[in-house]
Amino acid sequence: MAIKEDVLEQIVEGYLLHKGYFVQHNVKFRPSKNHPDFISNQDSNHSDIDVVGYHPTERGHKKVLAVSCKSWQGGFDPSAQLSAILDNKKRGGRDAWRMYRELTSPKWSEAFLKAIKNATSEGRFTYVTAVTFMKGDAAGKARWENHPPFKQALLGNPIQIITLREMVNEILEKLPKTLAPTEVGRMLQLFRAAKIITATD
d(CA 187, CA 27): 26
DSSP string, 2-70: ---S-HHHHHHHHHHHHTT-EEEEEEEE---TTSTT--HHHHSS-EEEEEEEE-SS--GGGSEEEEEEE
Q: What is the pLDDT of residues 10-55, one digit of tens each?
A: 999 999 999 999 999 999 999 888 887 777 777 778 899 999 999 9
Angle at 67 between CA 62 and CA 72, to 5 degrees: 140
d(CA 177, CA 164): 22
Tens-digit pLDDT profile for residues 92-115: 778 899 899 999 999 999 999 999
On whether the 7-193 domain is CATH 3.40.1350.10, my answer is: yes
Residues with Cβ within 8 Å of 121's Cβ and at least 6 positions away in sequence, in order, are none
Does position 57 have pLDDT exceeding 80, yes or no? yes
**Residue boundaries of the structural domains of the chain:** 7-193
The pLDDT tens digits for 58-70 are: 999 999 999 999 9
- Nearest-angstrom CA–CA distance, 104 and 120: 23
pTM of the model: 0.89
pLDDT of residue 5: 55
- Please report which confidence band the pLDDT of residue 2 belongs to, taking 50, 70 and 90 as the band edges: very low
